[in-house]
Amino acid sequence: MSEVQVLDKTFKTLITKEKIQERIKEIATQINEEMKDKNPLFLAILNGSFIFAADLCRHLTINHEISFIKLASYEGTSSTGAIKQMIGLNSDMQNRHVIILEDIIDTGLTMKYILEQLTEQSPASIQICTLLHKPANQQVPMDIKYIAFNIPNDFVVGYGLDYNQQGRNLNEIYTLKK
């Protein structure tokens, strides 16, 4: 178990890079089977999901498209509860099979907002694919089809997730050391 320092906080390994890559391959295999001949549109939520989205797409063998949207609800180590849309969606969703790629589902408030916005565009289907899920902290019920890892309600960093914009480059997922 290794430790890293990010700004003023110390983090310890929660999920190794090997386990992350293994789960991403498994999820890609499942999506390849379930979305064959559907040309899904992957909607990656920036900033946190960019590494997850890139690694997942490298394992997809089906025709697909990817687009990005940026929303923010975190400051420091806690959610602000307010969602700020920064970059809008440019793709036509009507009758498309959409798979939302998220780095982490914590309270579910951000995902609820995204689902409401997408539903108005009449897609054929909407699925959620998340790298991390905190079931103990989730406040909004929703169907999450693809979950790489369920984790405790701890603050995490690495593999795209940040602490005050730092630590995204770490190739493993680390949890705040208590």
Residues designated as active site: 106
Strands 125-133 and 41-46: unpaired
Q: What is the DSSP string of 58-90?
A: HT--S--EEEEEEEEEEETTEEEEEEEEEE---
**Do residues 99 and 147 touch, judged by C-beta distance below 8 A?**
no
| Axis crossing angle, helix 50-58 with helix 17-34, rounded to the nearest 10 | 60
